[in-house]
Structure 1
């Protein structure tokens, strides 16, 4: 793979709708306006149009990974008793619902990549992951190429064997939600020495310092490190983090990060397109 400074932009669609969080905020802050906003139909987590507008203005595209988390109904008592399962259950959405179909179609027609966000247990459950991929491909109308496992849950190399056997081209689950950097190297990994690639995650917004000045300094430092090492840098920004009321400053940092990457001469786009560029380079060597 020929060296090239590249920045892959990705978004995990975990919770496009704000649900139980409204009640928690109303009780925790003793502010009934939270519930009033919920009853008005406001949805601060739906940020597709805003992300598309930012990236359209900057002349770049990204990948959106859609989740199909199974319901807890019919599951074991052990799963019902697990608080983590409740969070996933209450935040789940139907990828085949009309509103989701419409936004997936808009993304696809506009040149954005639509990929698979494997559900909580699917890193070890190929049958479940195949089902989720078939549903998403039915909505999309063609094959998906890439995947990221929810919560970065990964059991390598077995999870990658599942991905490769399904015909997926790449995975972007290798990384951390608490630390940013190139701990897994500067270039995509070929775990099986074939066409299947792993794009290590460099930045997840929640892993940045909470102070916005320090967060931006870390982003700029990693961009500089990526340029110096001809690295492929992968960035994950959840759409809900563009909601400035709950996550102040994160929208501006994302926009600034993309602008700076373009200014520095990076190739910027979704992992699927980066995969194609790397594959072409490999064939020409």
Structure 2
């Protein structure tokens, strides 16, 4: 794939909170803006941005990956955890894969050429059985197997999490990275922690790592431009993560503009742009009988 392109830009979205629930009250009080309360109305949910994302990418002729979460809610946990602020942050206000609206949008994405994958729940990075259950839950909705995904909060236990992924039939993981730092900190290519066909796509940029996008989008865009230039100079695989709620202009102004600019500029630079599963399918994979090495210290060839 990369032989005919200057670099690759993989587009990904972690579907954490498509419904703005208690956040409406929180931000209304914090920002002293009662307009946040409008999201409590069924027709005014500003975090439901799937149509906007699909329209944007359709307009640019690209596709991306959406990773869906199957998190156990706060009511499914011990009563003592209800007193924990962290528990409410992690487990409250989530969604269900049995939600008809979620099922419909997953089907629409899948039918339209978008990748649908797994967003492993907060504790699943050390729980193979839970990962298996979550993977199969998504596959039951879609009616076919999925290729990969990313762990919630980028949780990783190396190499165990990747061993779990490989064991349950996933072909790649995109969790290796940071929510506060950007850059090619794990090299310019994909990684093969076991020297076989299982691949890791390091995360180059999460939108949260960009500084003050609301008030100074130009500076944030300069960072993105520099990452694109570095990717082009090294024929790299660059992976970006934009959470769906960041396409709400009311809640997160300027993030959609930067995302569009990323794609348009990458295409102008001759990059391949799309979801990780599609790029994975284009790679040449080694035979399964090669010797395994250290999952993090081994650097694979840059161009694969």
Which TM-score band applies after superposition, normalised by the shorter structure?
over 0.9
Q: Which 10-residue stretch deviates more, 208-217 or 100-109?
A: 208-217
Structure 1 outlier segments of 4+, above 4 Å: 1-4
Say which SS state the counterpart of residue 73 (structure 1) adopts: helix
* Aligned match for 2:113, one of 104, 111, 135: 111
Match of 1:222 among 210, 224, 227: 227
Residues of 2 paired with 1:241 and 1:171: CA distance?
Answer: 23
Aligned partners of 1:14 and 1:91 also within 8 Å: no
| Aligned Cα root-mean-square deviation (Å) | 1.8
Task: Quote the Cα distance in structure 1 between the aligned partners of 2:74 and 2:40.
Answer: 24
Whole-Å Cα distance in 2 between the matches of residues 231 and 176 of structure 1?
18
Determine if contact 2:67/2:119 at 8 Å carries over to the other structure. Answer: yes
| Aligned residue number for residue 98 of structure 1 | 100
The answer to whether the 8 Å contact 1:63/1:270 transfers is yes
Q: Unpaired segments of 5 or more residues in structure 1?
A: none
2:160 is aligned to 158
TM-superposed CA distance for 1:40, in Å, is: 5.7
**Equivalent pair of 2:20/2:39 in contact (CA under 8 Å):** no
Looking at structure 2, the residues matched to 165 and 79 of structure 1 have their Cα atoms a distance apart, in angstroms, of: 31
Equivalences for residues 27-42 of structure 1 within 5 A: 27-39=29-41, 41-42=43-44
Alignment of 1:253-264 (within 5 A): 253-264=258-269
Q: Tell me what 2:171 maps to.
A: 169
Q: 1:181 to 1:97 in 2, by over 3 A?
A: same
Map residues 74-93 of structure 1 onto 2, 5 A cutoff: 74-77=76-79, 79-93=81-95
SS at structure 1 position matched to 2:67: strand
Within the candidate set 265, 268, 276, 2:270 is matched to 265
Q: Does 1:250 align with 2:255?
A: yes
C-alpha separation in 1, matches of 2:250 and 2:34: 16
For 1:43 and 1:279, how far apart are their aligned partners in 2? 43
Aligned equivalent of 2:297: none
Q: Distance in 2 between matches of 1:171 and 1:37?
A: 33
Q: 2:59 aligns with which of 54, 57, 65?
A: 57
Distance 1:225 1:77, change over 3 A: same
Deviations 1:257-276 (A, max 9, x none): 00000000001100001101
Q: Is the 8 A contact 1:23 1:35 kept in 2?
A: yes
Q: Tell me: CA distance 1:40–1:145, structure 2 relative to 1, closer, same or farther (3 Å).
A: closer
Cα separation, 2, equivalents of 1:258 and 1:25? 30
Question: Residue 15 of structure 2 contacts residue 66 of structure 2 at CA under 8 Å; is this kept in 1?
Answer: yes
Whole-Å separation in 1 of the counterparts to 2:275 and 2:36: 35
Partner of 2:23: 21
2:45 paired residue number: 43
Q: Report what 2:204 is aligned to.
A: 202
Q: Distance in 2 between matches of 1:35 and 1:45?
A: 13
Is the partner of 2:74 in helix, strand or coil?
coil
Q: Are the counterparts in 2 of residues 203 and 236 from structure 1 also a CA contact under 8 Å? A: yes
Aligned counterpart in structure 2 of residue 278 of structure 1, from 259, 266, 283: 283
User: Could you tell me how far apart the structure 1 residues matched to 2:261 and 2:32 are?
Assistant: 35
Indicate the residue corresponding to 2:126 in structure 1. Answer: 124
Shift, 1:78, TM fit: 5.2
Shift in alpha-carbon separation, 1:36–1:52, aligned structure 2, 3 A: closer
Q: 1:257 to 1:77 in 2, by over 3 A?
A: same
Structure-2 residue corresponding to 1:231: 236
